[in-house]
Amino acid sequence: MNTPRNIEGKFSDNGVPHTSKNTKFFSLKRGFPIWWKGHVFFIIMVLMLFTNKSSWADHGDVALFTVSFLSECVITLLFITECFKGKA
């Protein structure tokens, strides 16, 4: 028997039933945490690399640029994939 208490949680505040169709397929809010955490980790790693800059080889700047570019590509790819709705 559906009493008001039992059906209360099945509806949102505006009276629309909670279904998976109410959630957006693509949302930047879902991807922002992975973007933020990825960049914080990346900044920490770059700062750790710069502590040893005096002993770098002459072409060390090119290697740092390559690592930075690839890291940004991975973070962006993770951000975009996280923005899509999962099947969970």
- How do residues 12-53 score in pLDDT, each as one tens digit? 555 555 555 567 788 888 889 889 999 999 999 989 888 888
Residue that has been written with the tokens 């996280």 in this structure:
82
Burial class (CB in 10 A: 0-12, 13-18, 19+), 42: middle
Dist CA 71 CA 78 (whole Å): 11
With a threshold of 0.75, does the pTM exceed it? no
What is the share, in percent, of the chain residues with pLDDT greater than 70?
A: 73
What is the share, in percent, of the chain residues with pLDDT greater than 90?
A: 27
Nearest to 34 by CA among 82, 84, 87: 82
CB 40 within 8 A of CB 71: no
What local confidence, expressed as pLDDT, does residue 36 receive?
93
Average pLDDT over the chain, rounded to whole?
79
What local confidence, expressed as pLDDT, does residue 27 receive?
85
